[in-house]
A and B are shown apart, each in its own frame.
Chain A
Amino acid sequence: MSAVVAEHDHHDHGPAKGLLRWIITTNHKDIGTLYLLFALAMFFVGGAMAMVIRAELFEPGLQFVDPAFFNSMTTMHALVMVFGAVMPAFVGLANWMIPMMIGAPDMALPRMNNMSFWLLVAGVLLLASTLLMEGGAPASGWTLYPPLVLQTGKALPFAIFSVHLLGISSIMGAINIIATIFNMRAPAMTLMKMPMFVWTWLITAFLLIAIMPVFAGAVTMLLTDKFFQTSFFDAAGGGDPVLYQHIFWFFGHPEVYVMILPTFGVASTIIPVFARKPLFGYSSMVYATAAIAFLSFIVWAHHMFTVGMPIAGELYFMYATMLIAIPTGVKVFNWTATMWKGSMTFETPMLFSIAFVVLFTMGGFTGLMMAIAPVDFQYHDTYFIVAHFHYTLVPASIFILMAAGYFWLPKWTGHMYNEKIGQLHFWLSAISVNILFFPQHFLGLAGMPRRIPDYAIQFADWNMISSIGGFIFGASQLLFLYIVVDTIRGGTGEKVTAEVWEDASKHSLEWTLSSPPPYHSFTTPPTSIPTEHI
């Protein structure tokens, strides 16, 4: 018996053979790959919905879709992008990178890791299936405000259950990340020596655990209001529809930071490598991230300035929201100072990261403008806010996910991507994203409300320009798909080193492993860690 065990120990586990490998895998790299590919697929599904929206808005008048379907598209575009694309993509990066960055052999809870991925798939498929149901998919906006959401057809309970599944999946992912970071770091890696990406994800994971149950609770109250005669949100029974908005945004505001904090982490990882300089202000970056996370819990009602709050509430939420500008500013200044007097090169990951800093800052400016409550009485629910949050999500979160793809694909696959096509992808994306979203500021200020399928003639010009930008941006992303497939299949054929990027191994542990890394890496913890990033 003992002989068998000993033999077993020496046997090196490779992946299972065939399709089954991907279904039953508990390996963090495989699960990371699954998350990333799923997110990429959903990015195109959500993107296709955005194309429907921009096609309908290309000209005034109704051309392609029914107004109800248009509302379903704006709702589903948001839900798919948030819960199907951006969040899973960052969980995928966390799965791949956190163990390799902290010198751990795998995630702390590998079986739960598998389960959280497949629950995500189930949740998103269930959500997508509502498109085929009688009465159509939810059409109340991704915020699912009652009483409007209660007018949804057969889809309502399915959408709510899908939110439950997505919530469970996110919470499991978050628990896993926290358990891994707290228990499995290499001995030399104290908390204040962790790479920024690990730090930002640690904080994000706490946000997720705090907020997902809140959202699950809110939608469950919708469910009981609709089917079990409760009146949480119905004034006729003593409830209040605005209560839902408070609960939703208590979830919703931290939720948008769930999508941006890991973005900060990746930017803080990539910029120093290509500036060939340590990150400026490591500890202030950590504290700023924690401060932003804390503030995210106490500013929710700035999404509700026009809902009819007492003056004290309006003023408090205005002041609290303005405070966010301070730690966010610190981050932008730190990235700029990291570039200052560096020795920069501009490979595709760096290009996307610089575009992120610039365009995210523009989204930050409009965020500050909207924090001013009285002025928000004009901006609220117009295309100005549409422009604002797309600036903080597309050229921020999405650009950084692209940057991360270019940055780590050579590490993951052992192949180099085609730099020329990468740069082409960058320039097309960076230019078209501004043609797409910048004019939306003008539209909002000129008075165009959001979530309308048809509009007055004076909004026609900028809508057409915005749509053209949208089509170019959408088409450009096919280049990214091509590059991912091409790189997996061998890329340029150039052999990449363990380091891939010049002196990258001075910055983080993953660059000390071979490219691609072995299926099981750091089975014994590394004895020393790079400290360039601190």
Chain B
Amino acid sequence: MKKTKQLSAGLTLMAFGLGTAQAEYTLNLMKGVTKVSNDIYDLHMLILWICVFIGIGVFGTMFYSIYHHRKSRGHKAAQFHENTTVEIMWTIIPTLILIGMAIPATKAMIELDDVQESDMTIQITGKQWYWDYKYLGNDIQFESHLDEASEKVHRTAGANPHSVPHYLLNVDKPLVIPVNKKIRFVLTSADVIHSWWVPDLGWKKDANPGFINEAWTSVDKAGTYRGQCTELCGRDHGFMPIVVIAMEQPEYDAWVEKTLAQQKQKPDLSDQSSGDLMAHGESVYLKNCVACHQIDGAGIPGLVPALTGSAIATGKWESLDGFLRAGTAKMPSFAKLNAKEFAELMTYVRNNLGNKVGDTLQPKQTALPDDDD
């Protein structure tokens, strides 16, 4: 019986010439994994059913009338054009229904708004086009970019998105939180307005430059939850996903310890083969440069200069290094990169993207004198 059902569902989809690629596929709002998201889901279903019920009444009446009260069936038109009782009824009944809806809605809204008595706070900063997470209270801070596989595919004509797991919904470094803890988020932005949304948490909140918004969650179930930026923030708005991993407390504690240790670790400045430099350089490029200079280094005509054949990129590496650290009016400074990343990135840019300088730069060369890295 179950098999027959599956078969017929499969056939129906095939009839459309389509197949669902991933199991996450849904038609309705997700219940999510927090109390608030479940309350919101219930509220959504309540209003949906009220609308369906009213719709059946109104459309049923209309279609009954369309079928029976037509001239071709010889129906003679009545000439009434008002009925005070009916009119008062259909004003008062909807009012009562609305009041009925407003009560649970108000409760849910108050719950959603209450950020007090939280166990920990995470600062979320939206940037064109990635998220920056900072755990207030310990020193964990990292950027969360679209994963490399999605990045390459969406920037390459003819590439197959079906080959990438969680296409456009995966990141290099997910946000990690403990379950069953009230986590307060403070949201802001470094440039334009972004909006942080993970449907399983039940809400989205805008990240406004120069202001701080608050929100909170408490996840019931360990797991990986995905979302996206939902406020148009420019060219790559569609490419700044969010991944939240909720862990049991012991696992989370281990993660904190590991991450702190990693953050304190000094970058490895030992020499690399040119192949390694190029491969690592591509990762640095995809994370930091590709949004403007494009995957082939061609830039955007009229807006962003090409790197291919660029005098700065292919000139003396020392001046390129200085240029990247300083930034310009149009390009941010990349002083946040470490010596290892500088060496990899510059080697990549000078020997790929249509450039052929032929040098390899080692981290020791690019380390600043006062770099204690």
Give A residues with C-beta under 8 Å from B: 60-63, 67-68, 71, 134-135, 139-141, 145, 147-148, 151, 153, 234-236, 240-242, 275-284, 306-308, 311, 314-315, 318-319, 322-323, 325-326, 329-330, 332-333, 336-337, 339-346, 354, 357-358, 361-362, 365, 368-369, 372-375, 377-378, 380-382, 442, 445-447, 449-458, 460-461, 464-465, 534
Contact = CB atoms under 8 A, between A and B. Distances in A.
B65 A71 contact: no
A63 B155 CA distance: 10
6 interchain residue pairs of minimum CB distance: A235-B210, A452-B238, A308-B213, A365-B51, A343-B77, A377-B203
Given A61-B159, A235-B211, A372 B168 contact: no
Nearest to A358: B59
A337 B159 CA distance: 56
A368 B16 contact: no
Contacts of B209: 147, 235, 241
Given A242-B211, A372-B47, A378-B29, A329 B90 contact: yes
30 contacts: A67-B239, A71-B232, A140-B232, A148-B234, A153-B302, A276-B71, A280-B80, A280-B81, A284-B82, A307-B208, A308-B211, A315-B106, A336-B62, A339-B65, A340-B65, A341-B65, A341-B77, A343-B71, A344-B69, A345-B70, A354-B66, A369-B47, A374-B40, A377-B40, A377-B203, A446-B26, A447-B199, A449-B228, A454-B239, A457-B21
B167 interface: yes
B311 interface: no
Contact of A369 (B44, B55, B77, B159): B44
A275 to B, nearest CB: 7
Contacts of A319: 102
B248 interface: no
Given A61-B159, A323-B98, A461-B20, A342 B69 contact: yes
B70 A343 contact: yes
Contact of A71 (B155, B229, B231, B237): B237
B288 to A, nearest CB: 18
Interface string B127-152: 00000000000000000000000000
A508 B71 CA distance: 21
A365 B48 CA distance: 8
Given A341-B75, A342-B78, A375-B105, A308 B205 contact: yes
B36 to A, nearest CB: 8
B329 interface: no
Nearest to B89: A333
Given A71-B234, A282-B81, A374 B43 contact: yes
A377 B95 CA distance: 24
B220 interface: no
B197 interface: yes
Contacts of B61: 336, 340
B235 interface: yes
Contact of B303 (A135, A277, A382): A135
Interface of B: 13, 16, 18, 20-22, 24-30, 36, 39-40, 43-44, 47-48, 51, 54-55, 58-59, 61-62, 65-66, 69-72, 75-83, 86-87, 90-91, 94-95, 98, 101-102, 105-106, 108-113, 153-155, 157, 159-162, 166-169, 191-193, 195, 197, 199, 202-206, 208-211, 213-214, 227-239, 300, 302-303
Given A369-B51, A446-B25, A374 B199 contact: no
A337 B80 CA distance: 9
A277 B77 CA distance: 6
What is the predominant secondary structure among interface residues of chain B facing chain A? mixed
A241 B102 CA distance: 30
B204 A380 contact: yes
Contact of B167 (A60, A145, A340): A60
Contacts of A234: 210
A319 to B, nearest CB: 6
Contacts of A457: 21-22, 161-162, 167
B351 to A, nearest CB: 27
Contacts of A381: 195, 197, 204, 230-231
A326 B97 CA distance: 10
Given A276-B77, A342-B77, A458 B21 contact: yes
A71 to B, nearest CB: 7
Contacts of B28: 442, 445-446
Given A235-B209, A306-B203, A381-B204, 16 more contacts: A67-B235, A67-B236, A67-B237, A71-B234, A282-B81, A306-B204, A308-B214, A341-B80, A374-B36, A375-B47, A375-B105, A377-B203, A452-B238, A456-B168, A457-B21, A461-B18
Given A71-B234, A323-B98, A151 B161 contact: no
B58 A361 contact: yes
Contact of B82 (A140, A281, A318): A281
A308 B20 CA distance: 37
Contacts of B233: 148
A374 B44 CA distance: 9
Q: Most chain-A Cβ atoms within 10 A of its Cβ — which of B86, B112, B191, B197? A: B197
A337 B86 contact: yes
Given A308-B205, A339-B62, A378-B202, A365 B55 contact: yes
Nearest to A147: B192
Nearest to A280: B81
Nearest to B169: A456
B238 A453 contact: yes
Contacts of A329: 90-91, 94
A141 B25 CA distance: 28
B210 A236 contact: yes
Nearest to B13: A461
Nearest to B97: A325
Contacts of B168: 60, 454-456
Contact of B72 (A145, A311, A345): A345
Given A147-B193, A362-B55, A325 B98 contact: yes
Contacts of A279: 81
B94 A306 contact: no
Given A148-B234, A322-B102, A374-B109, A339 B69 contact: yes
Q: Most chain-A Cβ atoms within 10 A of its Cβ — which of B55, B62, B76? A: B62
B238 A67 contact: yes
Contacts of A365: 51, 54-55
A505 B51 CA distance: 38
A242 B208 contact: yes
A67 B58 CA distance: 43
Contacts of A454: 154, 161, 168, 238-239
A516 B211 CA distance: 61
A526 B354 CA distance: 79
A344 B66 contact: yes
A227 to B, nearest CB: 16
Nearest to A237: B210
Given A62-B157, A340-B65, A378-B29, A361 B55 contact: yes
Contacts of A450: 230, 232
Given A336-B62, A344-B71, A464-B18, A61 B51 contact: no
B196 to A, nearest CB: 10
Contact of A134 (B69, B76, B302): B302
Contact of A460 (B21, B110, B232, B234): B21
B206 A61 contact: no
Contact of B26 (A153, A445, A453, A455): A445
Q: Most chain-B Cβ atoms within 10 A of its Cβ — which of A61, A281, A323, A442? A: A61
A377 B189 CA distance: 19
B77 A322 contact: no
Contacts of B59: 358, 361
A276 B209 CA distance: 59
A306 B161 contact: no
Contacts of B39: 374
A449 B82 CA distance: 45
A294 B105 CA distance: 24
